[in-house]
Amino acid sequence: MSVASLVPANSQRSRATAVKSFEDFLAKKEVTLTEVHDRISKDSTGKSLFVILDKYGWFLVKKVGRQGVALSKNTVLSYFGNVKNWLADLYPQQGQCVAKKLQKMLSTLDRYCEKRPEQGVTKQAPPCTKKDIKTIISALYMHASANSDYLDAALVALMWYLYGRGSEAEQLEKAQLCVYPGGMIFLRFKPVKTASQQGISLFKGPNDPFTCPLHVLAVALALQPAPGTRIFPQFAAVPALSASDDQDDDGELGLIAQLDRELAEAPTCKTPQPCRANSASGAQAYINRLLVTVSGLPAAKESGLTKGLTSHSFRRGGAMHANADSRISPNWVVERGGWNMSRVSKAFSYMLNTTHEDQQVARQLSGWNPQAGARLPDLTALDGVVRARVEKLQDLLFAAVTGFPTVSWNLDPQVLEVLMATLILHFPEMERHRLDSPYVRRIHEALGVLNLQASELLTWSITLRAAFNPPAEEKQETVAESSRNMFRVLEKLSQQLDDLLLRQTRVEERLAVLGTKAESIDKKTNTTEQQHEDVEQSQPKRARKRASKALSTVWFEWFTAVPRMYESTTVSKAILHESRHAVAFMMLCLPSGFKLDPASPAYKAEVHAVGVEAEKKTLEYLAAQGSQAVAVGSVVKAMRALHKAGHLSVLLDQFRERYYEGEVVDPTPNSALPPFLRFT
């Protein structure tokens, strides 16, 4: 073990990719790494190292990429810099001799790639405007088929407000969100490349739910299936070290023996390989693939999404949007979130010269006046009885982000109230956007569990909207201002009328279900449903595979979802079948059984702990059988094959013994389990 094993995963991947490019260069020159190693090690002057890197630099600037164009400046400099540092680490004596020449070579490549004679100015990624953000998020909502699609929408929004800082976005934690005075949510984070803690301000958008960072974040967290510290679990739980590193035999050797072994090892040109545990892609690559998928969606094509967007487009678009207001200092536009919170004088700096400017940038990005006007919604406008109902609905929707003994898994109560108020406030727009979306179905299912009507939720939305957008004070107006204000009033009345019509539709549907309405209403309802089915059939499904889940996530959903998955009307048969068998196979792999009591005050935490242990034991069992399955679908497929071959008979017999001895307490009804696990 050494400090080198603690290098971040992104740095390991960057170096491995660059060295792979260096190997391609050597292959075209018909030279092997061993020959390069011999030539450099025998030349103490470093000239061989300089010549090899000189030829490699020429190879990079002339190389044509996959899209038929030359490599970008950033790619050339990244590849060359990583290979230069890699060889300098292997041969420090030779690298020291030609260090200045290599640095000059790097500067020459930088100037050349900035403005190539044959291509002109280097092409940059187009900026992602706020209209593009709305198009991307609304398209994801329109074609959403799983909870992970709403997480993708939240990631897109936060990437824009974070200026494209993908490494920071993928490591955001729930405990980093807090409500600060001034009507803002403050997001604290620690950048990857610095040890100092930084932060930015987030404001709720005035009206648009698709560009409001708090709304997209609230929707994603309301649909999060399992607990955890990260806001985006698709980037979480990536170990820093591989299993082979953890099992190194350094602990069995003394310090002198380790020193002798290290000194005896000669430097080699072995290609660095990042460990398998660190092979998960980061937010930048994830966003690039997501943008390619979104650009092919019908909703995005109809809205005129800017072509060629990349992860870097978020930084350019966000900065350009903030810079549109001349009242904001340009250096604070560029350095958004770049101020230091870890200094001794952080409190003094916070009050006088830090977040004041950052709040101006945040207001401009969210659509407010940079000087004032931004505010957060809350539940204070609701009376006590209604608020109690809202809090029950809140506990049901945000079950995976609250109520755990581990503090880092929970959202701050004030943040939770703001997010819940934001959900209620914008629910009518989300329902009009797509009535049968997973999010809308989840809301209606939660309302059904609490015996609440959708019309009540719409009433709450109108109340909160009136409190969030109070009427403006009367003042002397010009004719133009009067016309604009009249247009805003008519637009607001039209929106309220749509909400009232939606409420009436809900009431009529309820009356039709109870059988107290005439046949005309039944016919109208059937016609509406038929029209909706026709529209749904005309819209092509999103060409994207369902996101994979961890076994512990499925375990937590199975035992804590309200209503349970086997009682829900929104869970598809395929997902129910897969989840049922995944949980059953995980039960078999628990050597000491498990006991779960829904009446326990720490029930959710107990379910999560048992699920993590069951996932670990199941993957260990599959690894012993020669399977590398990790995700739910592949695990179920592998375990089913073992079951058909009779390899699970021993596990079944052991589980049966534990069941009859009382070591297994499963709250799942017997009828909800697979046939091979029903003992009564």
Contacts of 561 (CB under 8 A, 6+ apart): 568
> Residue 155 falls within a domain, yes or no?
yes
Contacts of 450 (CB under 8 A, 6+ apart): 389, 392, 393, 396
> Residue 664 falls within a domain, yes or no?
yes
Q: What is the structure's pLDDT at 104?
A: 92
Q: What is the structure's pLDDT at 479?
A: 60
* Whether residues 91 and 141 fall in one domain: no
Residue 178 has pLDDT above 80, yes or no: yes
Q: Which residue has the higher pLDDT, 273 or 599?
A: 599
* Whether residues 588 and 635 fall in one domain: yes
Residue 16 has pLDDT above 60, yes or no: yes
Grade residue 373 by pLDDT with cuts at 50, 70 and 90: confident
* Whether residues 198 and 116 fall in one domain: no
Q: Which residue has the higher pLDDT, 659 or 355?
A: 659
Backbone angles phi, psi at 199, to 5 degrees: -165, 160
* Whether residues 159 and 97 fall in one domain: no
> Residue 149 falls within a domain, yes or no?
yes
Sequence-ordered alpha helix ranges (H) in 541-662? 551-560, 573-588, 603-624, 632-644, 649-660
Q: What is the structure's pLDDT at 545?
A: 53
> Residue 156 falls within a domain, yes or no?
yes
> Residue 610 falls within a domain, yes or no?
yes
Residue 237 has pLDDT above 60, yes or no: no
Grade residue 488 by pLDDT with cuts at 50, 70 and 90: confident
* Whether residues 300 and 351 fall in one domain: yes
- Write down the mean pLDDT value for the chain: 81
Residue 210 has pLDDT above 70, yes or no: yes
C-beta pairs of 506-515 under 8 Å, 24+ apart in sequence: 506/453, 506/454, 506/455, 506/458, 507/453, 507/455, 510/453, 510/455
Closest Cα partner for 468 from 82, 209, 268? 209
Q: What is the structure's pLDDT at 68?
A: 74
Q: What is the CATH number of the domain that holds 313?
A: 1.10.443
From 367, 384, 401, give the residue that closes a domain.
Answer: 384
| Cβ atoms 150, 223 nearer than 8 A | yes
* Whether residues 221 and 366 fall in one domain: yes
Q: Which residue has the higher pLDDT, 307 or 194?
A: 307
Give the CA distances from residue 151 to residues 99, 146, 172, 204, 218, in Å, rounded to whole numbers and listed in that order: 46, 10, 13, 18, 10
Sequence-ordered alpha helix ranges (H) in 223-326? 243-246, 255-264, 283-295, 298-302, 312-322
| Cβ atoms 366, 205 nearer than 8 A | yes
From 344, 366, 384, give the residue that closes a domain.
Answer: 384
Say how many C-beta atoms besides its own lie within 10 A of residue 223's C-beta. Answer: 21
From 365, 384, 403, give the residue that closes a domain.
Answer: 384
Q: What is the structure's pLDDT at 181?
A: 78
* Whether residues 317 and 223 fall in one domain: yes
Task: Determine the 3-state secondary structure of 567 from DSSP.
Answer: coil
| Whole-number Å distance between alpha carbons of 257 and 405 | 45
Grade residue 471 by pLDDT with cuts at 50, 70 and 90: low
Which amino acid belongs to residue 522? D
Residue 384 has pLDDT above 70, yes or no: yes
In this structure, of 34-43, 346-355, 414-423, 473-482, the range with the lowest mean pLDDT score is: 346-355
Say how many C-beta atoms besides its own lie within 10 A of residue 121's C-beta. Answer: 8
Grade residue 3 by pLDDT with cuts at 50, 70 and 90: confident
Q: What is the structure's pLDDT at 636?
A: 95
* Whether residues 573 and 670 fall in one domain: yes
> Residue 449 falls within a domain, yes or no?
no
| Whole-number Å distance between alpha carbons of 346 and 343 | 5
* Whether residues 210 and 353 fall in one domain: yes
* Whether residues 109 and 134 fall in one domain: no
In this structure, of 286-290, 445-449, 488-492, the range with the lowest mean pLDDT score is: 488-492
Q: What is the structure's pLDDT at 680?
A: 63
* Whether residues 147 and 289 fall in one domain: yes
> Residue 458 falls within a domain, yes or no?
no
202-207 mean pLDDT: 90
Q: What is the structure's pLDDT at 546?
A: 59
> Residue 526 falls within a domain, yes or no?
no
Q: What is the structure's pLDDT at 335?
A: 55
12-40 mean pLDDT: 90
* Whether residues 81 and 166 fall in one domain: no
| Whole-number Å distance between alpha carbons of 499 and 252 | 71
Q: Tell how strand 177-180 and strand 120-121 pair up.
A: unpaired
Give the structural domain span for 149. Answer: 130-233+281-384
Q: Which residue has the higher pLDDT, 266 or 182?
A: 182
Grade residue 242 by pLDDT with cuts at 50, 70 and 90: very low
Q: How many domains does the chain have?
A: 3
